[in-house]
Structure 1
Amino acid sequence: MLTQFSEHIATNFPYLKDKKLLVAISGGIDSVVLTELLYKLDYNISLAHCNFQLRGLASNQDEAFVNALAGKLQLSIVTKKFNTKAFAKKEKLSIQLAARELRYNWFAFLLQEYKFDYLLTAHHADDNLETFLINLSRGTGLDGLLGIPEQNQNSIRPLLPFSRNQIEQYAKANNITWREDSSNSETKYIRNKLRHDVIPALKEINPQFLEAFSNTILNLKETQKIVANSVNTIKQKVIVSEKKGIVKLDIEALYKIPHSNAYLYELLKEYNFTAWNDIYKLLTAQSGKFVLSNTHRILKDRKHLLVSPIDCNSEPNFYSVDSLQKSIRTDSFEFSVTPVSSYSTKINSNMVFIDSDKINWPLTIRKWQEGDYFYPFGMQGKKKLSKFFKDKKLSVIEKENCWVLTSDAAIVWVIGYRLDERFKISESTTSILQLKISEK
């Protein structure tokens, strides 16, 4: 196995030889064998061990074991104890998810703090099969059937082509000792149930099942390249615009594409949606209907689907501007007030000029409200903002993000769209203010 591993890593990860590597080690057979292989091949490695304190004395014995191994091999090691149960309770996570989050957050910190180039973990072919079956049992798309990637940014899994059986044979042949985690024998976790009950049955049906599975993964990865190519082509036809984090999709263009639901899934999968049937129904739903993920909203707006992030930081809907202020900064924009001696008549949606004597301080910047009206510049009479927006054919999201500038109760400027006629520059104007908005 040492020769096979050496050839594999030299062929697929030749750049690792001169890099500073951090190896995640639990004390179990997989991570201990990975450490021994890298050590024998003279890679520049250090070890990192997480003590999740979930198995009492056994957890501390695991930590003592990996410290002793590091001492024997003369490798540097960092260890950390986590109160995993308390973290899981606080964050409302399962113990497994809590341990995963704690582990990878800490590894990310170590990579940055100690300038490691890559993190190496000991996932192998059987882990890959288990992940495939877990995703399959929960329902997934093509990406979920591709298994564990050999490299994900700066995380590398060099043992992925090797089976658990190969690893065990190597460990026994080289008198390598390791720690057994008693929880691995329990079948209350889905991964362990697959490992002990389902996969042995599949291997009994086909002794070469793991090899066949590996070939299937290779075929699926090639298929995924074809799908990605096709999706990129469709993307050019369907996505109308991507501005300010909002993606606009043309429903009519989607209808013209065979298998539009499949393409819609591929276009939207990165936004963490799960209610796919509800999303597909949006194509024929009335305007205003929407579906939420934990990070995004997809909204039916007349002839388009609009995908926008859900703002977790609730921004105030009201800002006050007094006569001494030159500007204010918000999460969405910067607003400035500047006295000027002359003005431009050129139309600019982000800058207007008003008669300073026609306003009363302080001014207010707020989100528009139902019932708001103003006197559009260049027109006679008033107009409700809702009607103004409809005439402008603004999307629901554009309306939601619209601000108005007011003096007392009167709207001075529908910001970014139209000045109010009552505050315009006239022949009798003696004092001019420039109002400017800059979106972030």
Structure 2
Amino acid sequence: MLDTLQAALAKYDIDSRDKLLLAISGGLDSVVLLQALLDLGFQPELAHCNFGLRGEESEADADFCQRLARQHGLTIHIKKCETETYAQEKGLSIQMAARDLRYAYFEELDLLGNYRAILTAHHGDDQLETMIFKLARGSALEAVAGIREKRQKYIRPMLGILRNEIEAFAQERNLAWREDASNAETKYLRNAYRHRLIPLWEEIQPDLKSKMLLSSRLLREQSDALDELLEEKLSEALIQEEGWERLNYSSIVDKAWFGQLLYKWLSPKGKWDWPAVHHLWQSRKGRYTENEDYRLYHGEVCYELRKQSSSPSVSLELLEGDSEIEKPIRMDMQILPREKVKLDGLREHHFLDYKALEFPLTLRTWRDGDRFQPLGMSGTKKLSDYWIDQKMPMAEKDGQLVLESAGEIVALIGHRIDHRFRVQNSTKTIYFVRLK
């Protein structure tokens, strides 16, 4: 076992001179990892989270870890967590809340200690349980491959070691450890796999665990190879500008890995309804799906992602005598005789028939369902459909301003006026709007 452990650490250039932090619960796995590290000449600092979920037993776990550190002359850091309160506040299960608190504490310690690595005692049986758990949930390749041996500073050097080897090491060294009675309760799915499913499976296939660890390594290699491909394709297809991103899918939507590309792109950006994301490209252009922080549009041969705006909608009254505004957009307005105006086609200039307007006008943020009649066209059109026709990024419509008269849109600011408010041969006075 020591050889396997040392080889796992050497793979990442970890040696006994490095400053390490070891997560220790007081249970068999972490106690064995500590003893093995000591045997190899390491002197790690220890970190223990008291989750307070088992009353006096939790306090006894913390005391045990304290004595263990004192016995070996090691520094130990202990934190008592309000796990149940945190779980309620965040809407998490107790297990997920404990995980969040544990890793947050490790990160806090690392900011102060700047460790070379943070070690955890996950082992081969944990790997098998994780693979079954993820597979049964319908997870993708990255998850089914199991626990990564290294992620950032975290190293799990016992993933190649099975629990029976750990138990044998503990008995040989006459080690003491703490037992968590909840680990035997099969009401938790992972425990049910451990105590009921896997033993039955091993009766049928005695070499189950070694074969599953081999599968984990092979799946991890394939997952990493796919990840390299996705990274390359994502860099080719993704355009990023301030406030939004655009993924051109025209040449890749039929690829077998397209769904994984979407996952790689979007998963760091919160929780998504993945069936809705995958089917978005089949829907009519202009449709979107969203999560708490982002909105994903189906644009012209692309997905367009924009961060949800937290700013309030704009609604500003413009009086007949107003000549300029500075916010939310710099714009001036003039009432001019027809003969003094030379019409042009600049998007920043809007020429409107003054007589057709009713004051005060309203400058406001567009709303779902808004319609107007684009200049030169017959019949009205939804603004969202207009943008699609113009092949404009759907994400750019967020925050778009319109100018309104008596409930009718007279101009899509910076783009086009409404045909009904155009300057005609009979127009004698023009309302001229200019973006600065």
Q: How does 1:72-83 map to 2 (within 5 A)?
A: 72-83=71-82
Aligned to 1:91: 90
Aligned to 2:140: 141
For each residue in 1:50-106, what CA deviation from the matched residue of structure 2 results, as whole angstroms up to 9, or x when unmatched? Answer: 111111111000000000000001111111111211221222211111111111111
Partner Cα separation in structure 1 for residue 417 and residue 74 of structure 2: 70
TM-score between the two structures when normalised by the length of structure 1: 0.75
SS of the residue corresponding to residue 68 of structure 1 reads helix
- Alignment CA distance shift 1:411-1:114 (3 Å): farther
- Alignment CA distance shift 1:368-1:181 (3 Å): closer
Work out whether 1:177 is the aligned partner of 2:173: no
For each residue in 1:121-166, what CA deviation from the matched residue of structure 2 results, as whole angstroms up to 9, or x when unmatched? Answer: 1101110111111101110111111100011111111111111111
Aligned to 1:266: 260
Q: CA deviation at 1:267?
A: 1.0
Partner Cα separation in structure 2 for residue 128 and residue 108 of structure 1: 23
The AA in structure 2 aligned to 1:172 is Q
Q: CA deviation at 1:294?
A: 5.3
Partner Cα separation in structure 2 for residue 50 and residue 229 of structure 1: 36
Q: CA deviation at 1:275?
A: 4.6
Aligned to 1:164: 163
- Alignment CA distance shift 1:85-1:58 (3 Å): same
Gaps of 5+ in 1: 329-333, 339-346, 353-362, 423-433
- Alignment CA distance shift 1:14-1:368 (3 Å): same
Instruction: State percent identity of aligned pairs.
Output: 32
Work out whether 1:8 is the aligned partner of 2:4: no
Does structure 2 retain, via aligned residues, the 8 Å contact 1:265–1:276? no
Work out whether 1:317 is the aligned partner of 2:313: yes
Aligned to 2:426: none
- Alignment CA distance shift 1:314-1:189 (3 Å): same
Q: How does 1:296-307 map to 2 (within 5 A)?
A: 296-301=294-299, 303-307=300-304
Q: CA deviation at 1:170?
A: 0.6
Aligned to 2:355: none
Does structure 2 retain, via aligned residues, the 8 Å contact 1:48–1:77? yes
The AA in structure 2 aligned to 1:286 is R
Aligned to 2:209: 210
- Alignment CA distance shift 1:79-1:320 (3 Å): farther
Q: How does 1:115-154 map to 2 (within 5 A)?
A: 115-154=114-153
The AA in structure 1 aligned to 2:36 is L
| Range with greater deviation from structure 2 (27-36 or 225-234) | 225-234
Aligned to 1:342: none
SS of the residue corresponding to residue 207 of structure 1 reads coil
Partner Cα separation in structure 2 for residue 208 and residue 318 of structure 1: 67
Partner Cα separation in structure 2 for residue 394 and residue 13 of structure 1: 49
Partner Cα separation in structure 2 for residue 263 and residue 55 of structure 1: 45
Aligned to 1:427: none
Aligned length: 407
Aligned to 1:66: 65
Does structure 1 retain, via aligned residues, the 8 Å contact 2:363–2:401? no
Work out whether 1:27 is the aligned partner of 2:23: no
Does structure 2 retain, via aligned residues, the 8 Å contact 1:130–1:195? yes
Gaps of 5+ in 2: 333-344, 350-361, 422-433
Aligned to 1:39: 38
Does structure 2 retain, via aligned residues, the 8 Å contact 1:111–1:118? no
Q: CA deviation at 1:216?
A: 1.0
Q: CA deviation at 1:176?
A: 1.2
Partner Cα separation in structure 2 for residue 181 and residue 405 of structure 1: 67
